[in-house]
A and B are shown apart, each in its own frame.
Chain A
Amino acid sequence: MRHLLQWLLACCVAGSGAVFAAPDDAEANAVWRQLRTGLFGERAIAAADADTLVLEAPARAEDAAIVPIAVRSRLDPTAARRVQTVWLIVDGNPSPVAATLHFGPASGRADVETRLRIEQYGFVRAIAELDDGSLHMATRFVKASGGCSAPAGKDPAAAAANLGRMRLKVEDMGGALRRAQLMISHPNTSGLAMDQLTRLYPKPHFVRQVTVRYRGQPVLVAEVDFSISENPSFRFLFRGDGEGELEAVVVDTEDRTFQTRVPVAARADGG
């Protein structure tokens, strides 16, 4: 249903030839106004302060297929409020909701780096929902670089051959929080481009859900879309007290499931 909504929105925008708003007018963007109503109704959305949510994105996308992006909150479980969910939205993409990130108790802090495909000049926005129900938005305007950069996979045959390879790495940061990176080899294709010879649209085939647990406790549950770059990568924090096992489960649109796990040793300081 969520995808259907996105497709309808994408069609509306394309059909009306909507002009994207100037950098200083994130609120006026036509795509966003429709999405806002669909996702949040009439709820108030505050401008995020630096403690609540920061969105990092380059002002210029060097390679439109692989734009590094991060959402970070300084609110942790000891704070009075914490981030439960972050929506990551790319106004100019055919399917604007790139990711919905749910942070579990083992996440420690909402802090995720990933990479996006960015179809055209426009706003990227992150909206955080806190446990008190309040909404907070951070926006960045991203320009596409010049030249022939297109948000398409560079080598579909190689991508198909490697589909399903995964890597999960853990870094010890010397405290209660540890950082992990999950890499998934997957073409993450949209199916939006018609094959000019067969006149057929290829089937979309992308990662739709990523679930990470530590010692069985949810760290991150992400519903994602083909706005995430080929070979999706997620770098995130988790509370790595003691020793245990970090596990990732990935499901794609063909209901293929990929899993990986990595043992996590107790920290040098005994934590």
Chain B
Amino acid sequence: MPDGLIRRAVRAGRRLMACAAFAALGPAWGGVALPFDVVEAAPGLFVHTGRHEETSQANRGDIANVGFIVGERCVAVIDTGGSLAIGQALAAAVRRATDRPVCYVINTHMHPDHVFGNAAFAGGAARFVGAASLPEALAARAAHYEAGLAEALGDAAAGSRIVAPDLLVDDRLRLDLGGRALVLQRWPTAHTNNDLTVFDEASGTLWLGDLLFDERIPSVDGSIKGWIAVGARLREQAVSRVIPGHGRIAPPWPAALDAQSRYLQQVAASVRAALAAGKTLRETVDAANPADADGWLLADAYHRRNVTAAYAELEWE
């Protein structure tokens, strides 16, 4: 490993410890009041860390990492949380940090915990930005997502709604925040078919959205083969830190990615072995044990689902 990379890894590790301490000091989440901490992970780059839980009335969908980047002219918000309430808390955090307006709301992908806060930024001057495949993906799921949120949050879901992007990224798009450029990159189908990363040139930070899960178990909602392949490309990116869609701010890089890739490869290998042995989908899923996803949080809820998705994909090999 070159010296520069080692120094960066050490810095990332220090920052990580600082963040962990900060989170531990944060007030408990009451479900009504909205203490909403953001950490300045790099100058002008703020991140709020979501909880490793399923969406509930107590957490109001505050389960994903969201944040914003401040330029000289305006602010780009990156993901908005799992409800209007979280989006509003994020908007308030933006106002605490700067008086510059929000000009872009970027969604890294379609999942509810990343998009349902969009409504907090709608109706103003902000453009909503997403992968070119995001509008269709949201349209196909909007009713299902809204019903699911209403079930999880009850009355607290009121006002949360899908706001589709109006600025689409086919491959790559450069956004100027005034003296600070963001490079948005769309990726082939991986975690979903509408994954988008945001690279902040000023700080060398790559915001990965759910292309990287840290601590919380990855969930395959696109293509397991595609995700493994995209992971190999992400590993080659020259960055000073990454922000995952779930987990620690600036986790060790590329160790965090390697841990995710190992899990995905393990799922793919076990499913290929089951297919070779003539096992059906049902038999394969029944035999899958969440304990196989050793060390990942929420494995009970997602490991068998990942095996299901992997089977449906890999049986066509």
Q: Are A183 and B315 in contact (CB under 8 A)?
A: yes
Q: How far is the CA of A167 from the CA of B317 in the complex (A)?
A: 11
Interface residue SS majority, chain A? loop
Smallest Cβ-Cβ distance to A145: which chain B residue: B305
Kindly specify which of A74-82, A127-135, A147-155 makes contact with the partner chain: A147-155
Q: How far is the CA of A157 from the CA of B307 in the complex (A)?
A: 22
State the Cβ distance, B95 to closest chain A Cβ, in Å.
Answer: 28
Name B164's contact: one of A63, A157, A196 (CB within 8 Å): A196
A158 CB contacts on chain B under 8 angstroms: 189, 193, 223
Q: Are A63 and B136 in contact (CB under 8 A)?
A: no
The contact string, 1 if C-beta is below 8 Å from chain B, for chain A 44-76, is: 000000000000101000110010101000000
State the Cβ distance, B267 to closest chain A Cβ, in Å.
Answer: 13
A145 CB contacts on chain B under 8 angstroms: 301, 305
A233 CB contacts on chain B under 8 angstroms: 281, 315
Q: Which of chain B's residues 138-172 have a Cβ closer than 8 Å to chain A? A: 138-145, 147-148, 162, 164
A231 CB contacts on chain B under 8 angstroms: 312, 316
The tally of residues in A whose CB lies under 8 Å from a CB in B reads 42
Q: Are A155 and B219 in contact (CB under 8 A)?
A: no
Q: Which of chain A's residues 119-171 have a Cβ closer than 8 Å to chain B? A: 119-120, 145-158, 162, 165, 167, 171
A1 within 8 A of B: no
B4 CB contacts on chain A under 8 angstroms: none
The contact string, 1 if C-beta is below 8 Å from chain B, for chain A 166-193, is: 0100010000000000010100000011
**Given A68-B280, A148-B112, A195-B139, CB of A120 within 8 Å of CB of B305:** no
B309 CB contacts on chain A under 8 angstroms: 63, 66, 154
B302 within 8 A of A: yes
Q: Are B193 and A155 in contact (CB under 8 A)?
A: yes
Name B281's contact: one of A68, A151, A155 (CB within 8 Å): A68
Q: How far is the CA of A157 from the CA of B188 in the complex (A)?
A: 11
Smallest Cβ-Cβ distance to B283: which chain A residue: A68
Q: How far is the CA of A120 from the CA of B312 in the complex (A)?
A: 21
Q: Are A196 and B139 in contact (CB under 8 A)?
A: yes
B144 CB contacts on chain A under 8 angstroms: 119, 150-152
A153 CB contacts on chain B under 8 angstroms: 140
A268 within 8 A of B: no
Q: Are B139 and A154 in contact (CB under 8 A)?
A: no
Smallest Cβ-Cβ distance to A158: which chain B residue: B189
Q: Are A193 and B223 in contact (CB under 8 A)?
A: no
Q: Are B138 and A70 in contact (CB under 8 A)?
A: no
Q: Are B308 and A63 in contact (CB under 8 A)?
A: yes
The contact string, 1 if C-beta is below 8 Å from chain B, for chain A 215-235, is: 000000000000001110101
Q: How far is the CA of A75 from the CA of B162 in the complex (A)?
A: 50
**Given A70-B282, A148-B111, CB of A156 within 8 Å of CB of B136:** yes
Interface size class of B (residues with CB under 8 A): 35 or more
Q: Are B308 and A120 in contact (CB under 8 A)?
A: no
Smallest Cβ-Cβ distance to B54: which chain A residue: A146
A102 within 8 A of B: no
State the Cβ distance, A85 to closest chain B Cβ, in Å.
Answer: 23
Q: Which of chain B's residues 112-147 have a Cβ closer than 8 Å to chain A? A: 112-113, 133, 135-145, 147
Smallest Cβ-Cβ distance to A60: which chain B residue: B304
Q: How far is the CA of A70 from the CA of B316 in the complex (A)?
A: 21
State the Cβ distance, B287 to closest chain A Cβ, in Å.
Answer: 13
B219 CB contacts on chain A under 8 angstroms: 147-148
The contact string, 1 if C-beta is below 8 Å from chain A, for chain B 212-238, is: 000000010111000000000000000
Q: Are A156 and B142 in contact (CB under 8 A)?
A: no
A194 within 8 A of B: yes
Q: How far is the CA of A62 from the CA of B144 in the complex (A)?
A: 16
B223 CB contacts on chain A under 8 angstroms: 154-155, 158
Name A149's contact: one of B140, B143, B305 (CB within 8 Å): B305
B285 within 8 A of A: yes
Q: How far is the CA of A197 from the CA of B135 in the complex (A)?
A: 7
Q: Are B316 and A193 in contact (CB under 8 A)?
A: no
- Which of B111, B285, B307 has its CB near the most chain A CB atoms (within 10 A)? B285
A252 within 8 A of B: no
State the Cβ distance, A179 to closest chain B Cβ, in Å.
Answer: 10
Q: How far is the CA of A151 from the CA of B308 in the complex (A)?
A: 13
State the Cβ distance, A145 to closest chain B Cβ, in Å.
Answer: 6
The contact string, 1 if C-beta is below 8 Å from chain B, for chain A 233-258, is: 10100000000000000000000000
Q: Are B285 and A68 in contact (CB under 8 A)?
A: yes
B26 within 8 A of A: no
Smallest Cβ-Cβ distance to A121: which chain B residue: B151
Chain B residues in the interface with A (C-beta under 8 A) = 54, 111-113, 133, 135-145, 147-148, 162, 164, 189, 192-193, 219, 221-223, 278, 280-282, 285, 301-302, 304-305, 307-309, 312-313, 315-316
Q: List 18 A-B contacts (CB under 8 A).
A: A62-B308, A68-B282, A115-B281, A119-B144, A145-B305, A146-B54, A147-B305, A148-B148, A149-B221, A151-B144, A154-B192, A154-B309, A156-B136, A158-B189, A193-B141, A196-B135, A229-B312, A231-B316
Chain A residues in the interface with B (C-beta under 8 A) = 56, 58, 62-63, 66, 68, 70, 113, 115, 119-120, 145-158, 162, 165, 167, 171, 183, 185, 192-197, 229-231, 233, 235
Beyond contacts A148-B113, A150-B144, A154-B192: 12 other A-B pairs, Cβ-Cβ < 8 A, are A58-B282, A62-B304, A147-B219, A147-B301, A148-B221, A158-B223, A167-B316, A193-B143, A195-B136, A196-B135, A197-B135, A231-B316
